[in-house]
Amino acid sequence: MPVIDPTQQPIAAEAIPALKPPVDPATLTHKQLKQGEFWRAIPAYHDIDEATFLDHLWQGKNSITTSEKLLQTIQDLAPADFIEDVREGFRRAPMAMRVSPYMLSNIDWSDPYNDPIRTQFITVASRLLPDHPKLSLDSLHEQDDAPVPGLTHRYPDKALFLALDICPVYCRFCTRSYAVGTNTEEVEKVQLSASAARWAKAFSYIASRPELEDIVVSGGDAYQIPAKNIKIIGETLLAMDNIRRIRFATKGPAVMPMKILTDTAWVDALTEVAEMGRRLGKEVVLHTHFNHPNEITWITEKAMRVLFERGIYVRNQAVLQRGVNDSKEIMQLLVKRLGHVNVHPYYVYQHDMVKGVEDLRTTVQTAIDIEKWVRGTTAGFNTPAFICDAPGGGGKRDIHSYEYYDRENGIIIYTAPSVKKDQIFTYFDPIDLLSPEAQERWKDPVVAEEMIEAAIRKAGLNLR
């Protein structure tokens, strides 16, 4: 093998034959993160200095929870009719409003109706669409697979532990709108608040099942679990011989990254649990939830660097949403930007069929097309899998692994032989994106059932 002399001058770039022209650095937009004190553009934050804005306690205290508080904060940045649209939107929404100052500062208030961050967190009545007739509040049937309250055991070796029912922000598209947040005019929530007695039942069940190896700690949001309880949960699970992996799930890094910079106790607790796991040969990681490249700023990069230096592995699970990230270019930029800040893109979910957010859902074909585009633009380990969490409890299926896809009527048939054998699971494209003829057919419940039965027959399946 040749010996490289480190003192030797490198060969001039022009002397190396190029197979393709070099890329203009200005086009590497995934590296171009929002800089500076951008929050000062919001009238209520004009005099907020960096130290205050980066204080996670200030962020929580000043989160937007009503349309009136939104108006007080943005003042004349948005027209009066927009605020009235918000008031009516949240009266009809299944989720309460809670938006961090950080998220609010990342919204383009010159065009709030089309801004991807506003779209995710602030409901406007004028954009709402009728719910699909086949959706339900708990579309994934998590409660049906719960042996004890707040613990879903669906996959053979994995369980979902819902430790609490609050989050730093409330997403419009939350798949757990049946339990997360406060009651709304539309939904009376299932109670899954933090409780030592409830947790003890969950831990007892987990310890009693030798096949369980992988626990997702979610809620709600692990960001809202106090540091001492992060340690209690982590140490309790790691002490079980059967448990090999723990995932703490939080949207926090996307919506309030400064907590990682200023809540030392919480980060130290997570670090101690991760280090304990490594000593025991067990994996402890953080799963987070970025949906749009605009959510990633210099604050995000600084926060993710803290976790990276502490050896805490971070994976991302995005949700495909109409008007947010349902374009090839935006999804590619999101994937590249996540990799740039050491967050590994893991999943892109087809939007769950939940109430009140039909305007955010898009077609399965859109997901298939975007996945083809994204794959090959970066390393495979930084390329997410596009999946559909099959309604009815079928679990996560590769988006293209359907048994049959009736594109004309928007009916997709999945099976999940290793999760729930001998069952059929159906997902449905949004009706407003179908042809006028198909939209008419969906208006008749009898015709709709006939279409679904026909799709199942064409899939070659007789089960139901």
Report, as an integer, the average pLDDT of 216-233: 92
Residue 273 pLDDT more than 70?
A: yes
Residue 371 pLDDT more than 90?
A: yes
Residue 190 pLDDT more than 50?
A: no
The whole-number pLDDT of residue 46 equals 97
**Both tokens of residue 266?**
């919480």
The whole-number pLDDT of residue 145 equals 79
Tens digit of each residue's pLDDT (9 = 90 or more) over 302-342: 999 999 999 999 999 999 999 999 999 999 999 999 999 99
Question: What are the CA-CA distances from residue 169 to residues 65, 68, 98, 218, 346 (Å)?
Answer: 9, 17, 5, 14, 22
Highest mean pLDDT, choosing among 197-201, 253-257, 380-384: 253-257
DSSP codes, 273-313: HHHHHHHTT-EEEEEE---SGGG-BHHHHHHHHHHHHTT--
When pLDDT is cut at 50, 70 and 90, the band that residue 241 belongs to is very high
When pLDDT is cut at 50, 70 and 90, the band that residue 185 belongs to is very low
Residue 463 pLDDT more than 60?
A: no
pLDDT-wise least confident of 42-46, 173-177, 458-462: 173-177
DSSP codes, 59-125: HHHT-B-SHHHHHHHHGGGS-HHHHHHHHHHHHH-SS---B-HHHHHTS-TTSGGG-HHHHHHS--G
Residue 194 pLDDT more than 90?
A: no
The whole-number pLDDT of residue 36 equals 97
49 φ, ψ (degrees, to nearest 5): -80, 170
The whole-number pLDDT of residue 17 equals 63
Residue 18 pLDDT more than 80?
A: no
DSSP state of 317: E
The whole-number pLDDT of residue 464 equals 47
Task: Quickly count: other Cβ atoms within 10 Å of residue 348's Cβ.
Answer: 25
β-bridge partners, 68: none
The whole-number pLDDT of residue 295 equals 98
Highest mean pLDDT, choosing among 8-22, 85-99, 255-269: 255-269
The whole-number pLDDT of residue 105 equals 98
Alpha-carbon distance 108 to 128, whole Å?
Answer: 20
The whole-number pLDDT of residue 269 equals 98
Report, as an integer, the average pLDDT of 423-439: 96
Which residues of the chain form CATH 3.20.20.70?
Answer: 143-401
| Residue 436 three-state SS | helix
The whole model's pTM is what? Answer: 0.90
Report, as an integer, the average pLDDT of 70-98: 87
Report, as an integer, the average pLDDT of 110-114: 95
Residue 343 pLDDT more than 90?
A: yes
The whole-number pLDDT of residue 270 equals 98
Report, as an integer, the average pLDDT of 223-252: 96
Highest mean pLDDT, choosing among 16-25, 44-53, 151-160: 44-53
The whole-number pLDDT of residue 392 equals 83
When pLDDT is cut at 50, 70 and 90, the band that residue 146 belongs to is confident
Alpha-carbon distance 105 to 257, whole Å?
Answer: 13
Instruction: Tell me the average pLDDT of the chain.
Output: 90
What architecture (CATH level 2) is domain 143-401?
A: Alpha-Beta Barrel (3.20)
Question: What are the CA-CA distances from residue 300 to residues 29, 36, 103, 342, 417 (Å)?
Answer: 16, 13, 12, 10, 40
For the chain, give the percent of residues with pLDDT over 70.
Answer: 89
Closest to 180 in 3D by CA, of 170, 161, 213, 120: 170
Alpha-carbon distance 107 to 87, whole Å?
Answer: 18
The whole-number pLDDT of residue 297 equals 98
318 φ, ψ (degrees, to nearest 5): -95, 165
Alpha-carbon distance 120 to 116, whole Å?
Answer: 7
When pLDDT is cut at 50, 70 and 90, the band that residue 363 belongs to is very high
Tens digit of each residue's pLDDT (9 = 90 or more) over 374-405: 999 998 899 999 999 988 888 899 999 999 99
For the chain, give the percent of residues with pLDDT over 90.
Answer: 72
When pLDDT is cut at 50, 70 and 90, the band that residue 150 belongs to is confident
Residue 176 pLDDT more than 60?
A: no
Alpha-carbon distance 56 to 298, whole Å?
Answer: 16
8 Å CB contact between 167 and 249? no
When pLDDT is cut at 50, 70 and 90, the band that residue 11 belongs to is low
The whole-number pLDDT of residue 192 equals 53
Residue 135 pLDDT more than 90?
A: no
The whole-number pLDDT of residue 23 equals 87
